[in-house]
Amino acid sequence: MKNYILISALLLSCLSSSCGHSGQKRILQPSDNNPSGNDIIFNPCSPAYFTLQHVPSLSQSSHIVSFSYNHESLNALFTAPLISDESKFSKKDDPLYFDNAVELMIKLKEPGHYLELIVNKNMLIYDALVKNPDADRKTMQVDTGYNINGLKVNVLKNHKNATWLCSISIPFESIQFNPRADKRIDLNAFVFAPKTANPYYALKYKNGEVLDFHSPPAWETIGLNP
């Protein structure tokens, strides 16, 4: 347990590298729960923490994702339930959305285009470029041959508490984003826990009828201070 706490702290500190200071912990809710409608703004290397919601009930869960950034990369740290070590998937770009995994979707500047990144509990990666201008799964195109250059991921499991941590670092250059000039980034985050009472958790979710994260995609807008 002591090793888990130590390595957890190290993973979080890695997300705040190149700065020399860490941010105050803030638990934030998705902006739909914020009557003011203001963007969530955070400073370089000062993590913003979000609780994820059960889908489709949208009740709050105990699972958290935090985001931080430096001048080179956007970073995320997930806490997720660990179902088991077993997985029927073994290759990059296997359909990990059916597995015990975490996911980031990041909106690109090209209208209707976004990146989909999934990491499972065994550190297997699925990354794809999604072209979805109609916000409809029936017409969207998914390019799994796309690779996020410079991507870094790490996974740490705690079998005793049936949880795992996943750290993700994505170079801004690979998502055509300039943190010195671009002031906002749109993204979404998910946790998948298949074959459990609550198999889906999301940062933002729009569709209250059919369970589908692409028809339409939902976005949390985060403002970045220079």
The pairing of beta strand 101-107 with beta strand 184-192: antiparallel
Contact at 8 Å (CB) between 175 and 130? Answer: no
Match 């989909």 to its residue by tokens.
116
What pLDDT is stored for residue 152 in this prediction? 95
Distance CA 143, CA 147 (A): 9
Residue 170 has pLDDT above 60, yes or no: yes
CATH number of the CATH domain containing 15: 2.60.40.1190
Percent above pLDDT 90 for the chain: 54
Q: What is the pLDDT of residues 195-215, one digit of tens each?
A: 998 899 999 887 655 578 898
What pLDDT is stored for residue 45 in this prediction? 58
Cβ of 1: how many Cβ atoms within 10 Å?
A: 8
Contact at 8 Å (CB) between 165 and 146? Answer: no
What pLDDT is stored for residue 208 in this prediction? 57
The total number of structural domains that make up the chain: 1
Domain carrying residue 106? 2-224
Residue 89 has pLDDT above 60, yes or no: yes
Contact at 8 Å (CB) between 170 and 70? Answer: no
Q: What is the pLDDT of residues 13-55, one digit of tens each?
A: 444 444 433 333 333 333 333 333 334 444 555 677 788 888 8
Q: What is the pLDDT of residues 115-147, one digit of tens each?
A: 999 999 999 999 999 999 999 999 999 999 999
Mean pLDDT (the chain) is 80
Name the token pair of 69: 């950034």
pLDDT band at 181 (very low <50, low <70, confident <90, very high): confident
Could you tell me how many helices (H) and strands (E) the chain has, helices first?
A: 1, 14
Residue 191 has pLDDT above 90, yes or no: yes
What pLDDT is stored for residue 133 in this prediction? 96
